[in-house]
Structure 1
Amino acid sequence: MRPPAMPPPRPRLRAALAESPPLWWALLYFFCLLCGYYVLRPVRDAMGASSDASTVFPAFLLDWAAARGIALGDFTLQALFTGTFVVMLLLQPLYGALVSRYPRRVFLPVVYLVFIVCLLGFRWAFDSDLSGRGALFFIWIAVFNLFAVTVFWSFMADVFDNAHAKRYYGYIGAGGTIGAFVGPLITTTLVQRIGVADLTLVSIGFLGVCLLCILKLRGWARRNEAVRGERGEQAIGGSIWAGLKLIAADPLLRGLAMLMFFGVGVGTLLYNEQAAIVRRLYPTAEAATRYYSMIDWAVAGLTILVQLLLTRWLLRRYGVAPLLLLPAVAILIGFSLLSASPYPLLIAVVQVMTRSSEFSLAKPARETLYTRVDRESRYKAKAVIDTAVYRGGDLTFVWVHKALATLGSQVVFVAGIGIALGMTFGAWRVIRAERRLPEQPATGRSPEHAHGKPS
């Protein structure tokens, strides 16, 4: 017997919030998470762009490089990206052990509490002018962003089933985008008054709200998992290396890993080439800042618009295919144009298109897929893809750009066409594997009942 069809959704955000109490908490959770991150992101960017290597790297590392004739300041971004990747690899088995041995009620709060303790440590490091604080903070903030966001979306796949994910993930993503918009405004307003060190306390406040949201959402997660026949409050179990094994064995996860690797490659190549062009054409800090701020505002504005008006409609009507293919094809066209005419304005347009399509289309599509896989894939394989594969792409393509940049911008973007083709192929692999996935078992309940008061 076919399960009863869900009633058609009411079209507005207000109606969605009225019918789904967990959506309120999910929106608040993602807003606070990205707002807390973007309060600190300008500090990270300032560290990575510093021309004074002594403020970024510890003295012993500078001395070690100098003794071998290496000017470490000439390789700041490459060294920081390499360090980030190494740290990600070291943390993967620790995260896998945490997820395997402890239930969700333990490991979710622990992840955020560890981040809060680290931020208190960085407040002391900035106050005391600790040597090497720049590299430590740059690497840590990258780890924080990837792990915290990955845990968030894994948890959302517990709270919402596939049908509700298609309806609500666009709204949740928009909440995060607003947080990404508000965070830098807070930093701009407060940094002159309270200093860099105390910005960590602002971020800690937002992470505290995230912990509250986790506690509030646990009841809905338990109810959704009971319908699936899962026991989310028990430890997942299995090997700490299970994430890698799952990716190797599952065509969908392999496709997602490929899509992530080449998607990151496109972004890294574009980011580094844009930075080189900005340094050449906008030599003053004021001009470069104005250029970057215009891009950030355009990305945030376009992302919110697409998330609220298009993402949800495309997901419900056509599934994940257009959300994965449209960004890939658009980026392929953009890089083709840039290989012929790498003008700053066109680079800005392609950058806005690349980042906004990732945030508004590709990411919500990828996240809905995790509602249709088992818990081990949601928490272990997803963590490997979102952290180790992501940073592996960063590491690979930051060095690829370093090698290609000596040949000129056009060569960089010609190579980018090949990377964009790899991204498109990865999207096709994901879509092909997704069609073989079983739909999540229906609850037979209305949205109001299924998302009523938590047990």
Structure 2
Amino acid sequence: MDFPSTVTARLGRLRSALRDSPPLLWAFGYFFCLLSGYYVLRPVREAMAASADVRAVFPPSMIDYFAGQGIAIGDFVLQVLFTCTFLIMLLLQPVYGALVSRYPRRVFLPVVYAFFIFTLLGFHLLFDSGVPGRGMAFFLWIAVFNLFAVAVFWSFMADVFSTAEARAYYGYIGAAGTVGAFCGPILTRLLVARIGIADLMLVAACLLALCVVCLMRLRRWAQAREEARGQRDKETPMGGDVLAGLKLIWREPLLRWMAAVLVTGVGVGTLLYNEQVALVRRFYPDPRDATAYFANIDLAINALTLTVQLFVTRWLLSRHGLAPALLIPPLAVFIGYALLAANPLPLLLAAVQVATRSGEFCLHKPARESIYTQVPREWRYKAGAAIDTVIYRGADLGFAWLHKLFSAFGSSAVFLAGMCLSLAFGVCGYGLWRAQRRLPRDLASR
């Protein structure tokens, strides 16, 4: 294969797509700024979670309460943070449901981003003054931001693009986000020594403000698509129960498969991540070596993800449909876990981690998100958000504790459990593909 000519041909198709679909450029800008802002802040979250200063992480009252119970909270930093993250998702899901039930899209989408922008201004003050407990508050905030903001993004894309356009363009849009994921850490590395952590909050707030600009420009294309589908109430509230998302998941087979796919996918990733941390502690006792190890993994993931998004995702979804994109990642994870069960070395684990996370970003997620173009708005905005928040964090928390159980029997037990879970991941992906094929053609217009 002539690689330069292939690259030229793919870039030519990208230019053609930009000419044929003007909103695509704004979608690029939206996702680029969104992930740039997130990755500017992600290192701050990691630093807070790993901080030796427990008072920087937890409020004094919480530290004193646990001390009174004879528990040193510093020994359970991640467990406490993950548990609190799940609880806050439970609390916020009805709030999000109420928002999308009572307000039209032109109101609630800018409100979501305005909330994050103004809270970043608050964190600027907290970090600037060194308020105790800022670490926990920021860790919980960024978890909510990561899930809610990205969930809102993909739900909105399903309003802008048709099913055929989603299969053709979602790979490109994901690539724009991956470029943003490259740029965010670079901004942090360049600026943190010069302006400090507190002012990084302002940098991220500016990037989110640009997201709002892109969102407002994209809105008219979303309106035009709804008019083409004969939807006259395009800017009216969706109405319904604030817990409608969870009820829809319980009632609708496709949404149940979507939730099952996410739970099993989160499971294989969480088991792998926790075992990776344990292995890194064993093989890389020097913090500088461990940091370099994780940095190399992130770089490899972003590089592979961007390459596949640009040159494989669009072709795979357009030519072969959803089945390969839903089934290839579970197969890769199963093979990776099998290799690790035979030889659990950090370098091999890093390779499996790269394959797992890049497969999620460049294949599995674009395939799942394209399904939302075929379903009603209430499914996208309510059920989709419930899956990406409460169910996601519940699975994350549950498998974090399950790893503790499996690891008591050694790394091999963890990897064997991962093999079984990856098989379930593939079965759920197949079930989701079958459920998607049975969708009525006119369901999205309801």
Q: Shift of the alpha carbon at 1:51? A: 3.0
Cα distance in structure 2, aligned partners of 1:22 and 1:169: 12
Which deviations, in whole Å up to 9, do the C-alpha atoms of 1:262-318 show, x marking residues without a partner? 111111111111111112211122111111111111100100110011100111111
**TM-score, normalized by length of structure 2?**
0.95
Aligned to 1:190: 191
Matching residue of 2:223 = 222
- In structure 1, the residue matched to 2:369 is 367
Question: Given the alignment, which residue of 298, 301, 304 partners 2:300?
Answer: 298
1:246 corresponds, among 245, 248, 255, to 248
**C-alpha distance in structure 2 between counterparts of 1:404 and 1:132, whole Å:** 32
1:378 aligns with 2:406: no
Asked if the contact 1:10/1:16 (under 8 Å) is kept, the reply is no
How far apart are the structure 1 equivalents of 2:412 and 2:370? 37
Check whether the contact 2:374–2:443 (CA below 8 A) recurs between aligned residues.
no
Query: Which residue of structure 1 lines up, in the alignment, with residue 426 of structure 2?
Result: 424
How large is the RMSD of aligned CA atoms in angstroms?
A: 1.6
Q: CA deviation at 1:52?
A: 3.0
Aligned equivalents of 1:345, 1:18: Cα separation in 2: 43
Q: Partners in 1 of 2:200 and 2:94 — Cα distance?
A: 31
How do 1:260-275 residues align onto structure 2 when only pairs under 5 Å count? 260-275=262-277
CA–CA distance in structure 2, aligned partners of residues 65 and 441 of structure 1 = 52
Matches within 5 A, 1:133-172: 133-172=134-173
CA contact (8 A) 2:375 2:444 kept: no
* 8 Å Cα contact 2:168/2:318 also seen in 1: yes
Paired with 1:259 and 1:407, the residues of 2 have a C-alpha distance of 27
Mapped contact 2:308–2:362 kept (Cα < 8 A): yes
Distance (Å, rounded) in 1 between the aligned partners of 2:424 and 2:124: 41
Q: Contact 1:161–1:440 at 8 Å: present in 2 too?
A: no
Read off the aligned partner of 2:421 and give its amino acid letter.
I
Structure-1 residue corresponding to 2:4: none
**Which SS does the other structure have where 2:199 is aligned?**
helix
1:322-379 residue CA offsets vs partner (Å, 9 max, x unmatched):
1010001111111121122111111000000001000000000000000000010010
Overall identity of the aligned pairs, in %: 60
Q: Give unmatched runs, 5+ long, in structure 2.
A: 1-9
CA distance in 1: counterparts of 2:97 and 2:32, whole angstroms? 26
The residue aligned with 2:65 is: 64
Which residue is equivalent to 1:347? 349
Question: 1:11: Cα distance to partner?
Answer: 5.5
**Amino acid in structure 2 at the alignment position of 1:82:** T
Once the two structures are superposed, the pairs formed by residues 42-57 of structure 1 within 5 Å of their partners are 42-57=43-58
Residues 166-181 of structure 1 mapped to structure 2, 5 A cutoff: 166-181=167-182
Which deviations, in whole Å up to 9, do the C-alpha atoms of 1:227-262 show, x marking residues without a partner? Answer: 222332110111111101111111110000001011
- Please name the residue that 1:114 is paired with: 115
Contact preservation (8 Å) 2:375, 2:443: no
Letter in 1 for 2:212: L
Q: For residues 399 and 38 of structure 1, what CA distance do their matches in structure 2 show?
A: 27
The equivalent of 2:6 in structure 1 is none
Which of 328, 333, 336 in structure 1 is aligned with 2:335? 333
Residue 442 of structure 1: how far off its partner (Å):
11
1 CA distance for matches of 2:362 and 2:344? 25
Asked if structure 1 preserves the Cα contact closer than 8 Å seen for 2:373 and 2:444, the reply is: no
Q: Deviations over 1:379-430 (max 9, x none)?
A: 0000000111110111101111123223321111111122212211211110
Cα distance between partner residues in 1 of 2:90 and 2:444: 38
Residue of 276, 279, 295 corresponding to 2:278: 276
Shift of 1:37: 0.4
Q: Tell me, yes or no, if the aligned pair for 1:119 and 1:200 is still in contact at 8 Å.
A: yes
Residue 98 (structure 1) aligns with: 99
Read off the aligned partner of 1:399 and give its amino acid letter. W
Could you tell me the TM-score, scaled by structure 1's length? 0.93
Q: What are the superposed Cα offsets for residues 151-175 of structure 1, whole Å, 9 maximum, x if unpaired?
A: 0000000000101111100000000
Residue in structure 2 matched with residue 285 of structure 1 by the alignment: 287
Equivalences, count: 435
| Alignment equivalent of 1:408, drawn from 388, 407, 410 | 410
